[in-house]
Structure 1
Amino acid sequence: MRVGINAGHFAGAPPADLADRLRAVDDAGFASLWFAEAYGSDVFTTLGAAAALTRRVRLGSAIAQIPARTPTATAMAATTLDHLSGGRVVLGVGASGPQVSEGWHGVPYGRPLARTREYVAVLRQALARREPVTYAGEFHHLPAAPGPGVTGLGKPLRSSLHPLRERLPVWLGAEGPRNVALAAEIADGWHAMFFAPAFDDLYRDALAEGFARRPGGRPDGFEVVATVPVVLDDDVERAADRVRPELALYMGGMGARGANFHHDVFVRMGYGAVAERVQELYLSGRKADAAAAIPTELVEQVALVGPAAKVRRDLDRWAPTVVDEIAVQGLPTDVHAVAAALL
């Protein structure tokens, strides 16, 4: 099982020792280094900094938000970064959620799978640079479709920057079965969140559905990376307590009642009553109680917690699953201790 690091996004401010930690990830032998974005730090600036500070580790976006940029802008950023990093980039994109898409970016969220399909189609054209980009879809028009404010002077363009590689990998971040199937159908990989080894069959079925719709079936090199919280502590409960607030945020507060796909993950896992209680407490402002309502057994489904020896044993549960690599959630303060436990 390969192991990487998903540094996530910065809250408040980047850590003062960020450069040292990024170099440590590279030196320690981790397979990959991923960054994310929500409604604060962006993913490509941080990946650019990481490219300058590292030499060998693979660099990925997990994920770049689809509503944050046009597909051609995303292609520009990814192609530029691929050159500057020496071809180490994996471009992960995803629809985000309605609160961020509509509340932060002002972009409609409806029909996220259809939007994602179109976005990736335009993105592929721009990255390949085989011909000027043209597209006439429901959500994307290149050149711009006639309408208010459109001059009609736009023409199909091809990137002035040549790609470093013939095919830069495009992955999807996905949680629900339909979105996982879409990743298998149109992408080069799937970046998973809240993956539970005990429910591997559900994800195998979703991937199989997508590969069945893809000409030629599963492509060579398709990968699955799962972001997994890892907390090393001799006390399992104390370790689980460090994971519970994040799970409560996503399960209970990341999205509106009835429109939270993170919440739905835990319902599908059989924790519907727990998820409902956590959401009720979180949305009523009782965040600490919401975290406390999450049982340790649920934490251990989606996280690696406890003494190093236990964490190594638990990691073995991921080996027979569809997951090729786990990405430790967060940028550890002691990178080498995590490396010693997992590598």
Structure 2
Amino acid sequence: MTTYSIMLPFMPRRPEQILPYAGLVAWTGAERLWQGQSLLVEPHQGFAYAAGAGFRVPAGLGVTLAGLRHPLEAALQARSVAMATGHPVIVGFGPGSPQFQESVLDKPYDRPLSALREYLTAVRRILAGDVTAVEGSYVVSRAQLPATPGIDVRVGLGVLRPGMARLAGEVADRAITWLTPASYLADTLVPALREGAERAGRPAPRVTAIVPMALELPDRDPVRLALASNQGHLRFPHYLDMLNRAGAGITEEDDIQERARRLVDCGGFLYGTPDRLAAACRAYAEAGADEIVINPTGVHAVAGAQTALSELRTLIGELTR
């Protein structure tokens, strides 16, 4: 059965800004509250703050950037959130853009797939309470944490293209997608996940699809909302490559407005009535998504927090009834 979750649609400047969204998870049919990498209130600390304020809700971190933390620190932070909330945590990792990698690691990964394989292997071993002995080209870890029975942290991998999907099939508990149209998930990513899992002799990981969407209203422009939600992503080559594999047809000559229009046209940003959005989400479920995360970032950026919260309540009510 596919579950529905919500995405915190901004980087909070004060941790109390998280609470209304945690409340939606506590009081509605939403499964989990997700947050991406933040450069303001750090996500692990924000979830711990919400738990301390009385909102002990399931948390998803998708995705955090591997270069910011040693695997020991990454495992410790994620486990701390699980202990604070009392719920399983999904912690997703990604390499970030080559520019980010260079800024924190001196140079970009020569082989991002190898780097993430080493990283996830180390994190999983540490979370299991094992003494890690990862002596890789990118990760060196000889660490151990005390075993904590009953604490559940599931390790995910941000997945855009087939290579990372095959890796997730081999080593991750969860594959986490962003901006991926349902057809691309079905035709490209899910088969690659299964291929990797078969190669490793294990079940394929569950799939979380983080999907930007907005309700159709008379005074709204879906292209403007898509641009407000994903302007940065539409400038990164790895996102453009994924979208073009999905049929977006974006060219180097296209300005950012045209890229946003093509994102909407290819189904990477959903826009419509509640019934139409529910049908689009069913397409994601049929494509293989076990969890669909409603991402109202564009609505929040254009119309503000109250409108985003209202829209989330409407959509969660429609999708979980």
User: TM class by shorter-chain length?
Assistant: 0.7 to 0.9
RMSD: 2.6
> Could you tell me which residue of structure 2 aligns to residue 99 of structure 1?
99
> Could you tell me which residue of structure 2 aligns to residue 136 of structure 1?
135
CA apart distance, 1:184: 0.7
> 1:27 and 1:182, CA in 2 relative to 1: closer, same or farther beyond 3 A?
same
**Aligned mates of 2:17, 2:40 — CA distance in 1:** 19
Q: Percent identity at matched positions?
A: 21
Count of residue pairs the alignment pairs up: 307
> Could you tell me which residue of structure 2 aligns to residue 186 of structure 1?
171
Say if 2:189 is the partner of 1:213. Answer: no
Q: What amino acid sits opposite 2:187 in the alignment?
A: D
> Could you tell me which residue of structure 2 aligns to residue 4 of structure 1?
5
> Could you tell me which residue of structure 1 aligns to residue 301 of structure 2?
none
**Aligned mates of 1:109, 1:24 — CA distance in 2:** 39
**Alignment equivalent of 2:257, drawn from 288, 291, 295:** 291
SS in 1 for 2:217: coil
> Could you tell me which residue of structure 2 aligns to residue 163 of structure 1?
148
> Could you tell me which residue of structure 2 aligns to residue 146 of structure 1?
none
> Could you tell me which residue of structure 1 aligns to residue 19 of structure 2?
19
SS in 1 for 2:244: helix
Contact 1:22 1:50 in 2 (8 A): yes
Once superposed, which parts of structure 1, at least 4 consecutive aligned residues long, lie more than 6 Å away?
none
Q: What amino acid sits opposite 2:66 in the alignment?
A: I
**Alignment equivalent of 1:175, drawn from 139, 160, 165:** 160
Q: What amino acid sits opposite 1:195 in the alignment?
A: T
**Aligned mates of 1:218, 1:304 — CA distance in 2:** 30
Q: What amino acid sits opposite 1:169 in the alignment?
A: R
- Range that drifts further, 65-74 or 35-44: 35-44
> 1:310 and 1:135, CA in 2 relative to 1: closer, same or farther beyond 3 A?
closer
**Aligned mates of 1:236, 1:186 — CA distance in 2:** 45
SS in 1 for 2:221: helix
Question: For residues 74-113 of structure 1, what are the structure 2 equivalents within 5 Å?
Answer: 74-104=74-104, 106=106, 108-113=108-113
> Could you tell me which residue of structure 1 aligns to residue 126 of structure 2?
126
**Aligned mates of 1:307, 1:15 — CA distance in 2:** 32
**Aligned mates of 1:3, 1:275 — CA distance in 2:** 33
Which residues of structure 2 form unaligned runs of 5+? 298-307
Which residues of structure 1 form unaligned runs of 5+? 144-156, 255-259, 282-289
CA apart distance, 1:261: 0.6
Contact 1:4 1:32 in 2 (8 A): yes
Deviations 1:261-310 (A, max 9, x none): 111011112233x34333xx3xxxxxxxx224543674461222122222
> Could you tell me which residue of structure 2 aligns to residue 63 of structure 1?
63
> Could you tell me which residue of structure 2 aligns to residue 276 of structure 1?
252
Say if 2:204 is the partner of 1:227. Answer: no
Q: Which has the larger radius of gyration?
A: 1
SS in 1 for 2:267: helix
TM-score (norm: length of structure 2):
0.85
**Aligned mates of 1:8, 1:101 — CA distance in 2:** 24
**Alignment equivalent of 1:309, drawn from 249, 262, 275:** 275
**Aligned mates of 2:114, 2:281 — CA distance in 1:** 35
CA apart distance, 1:114: 0.5
SS in 1 for 2:113: helix
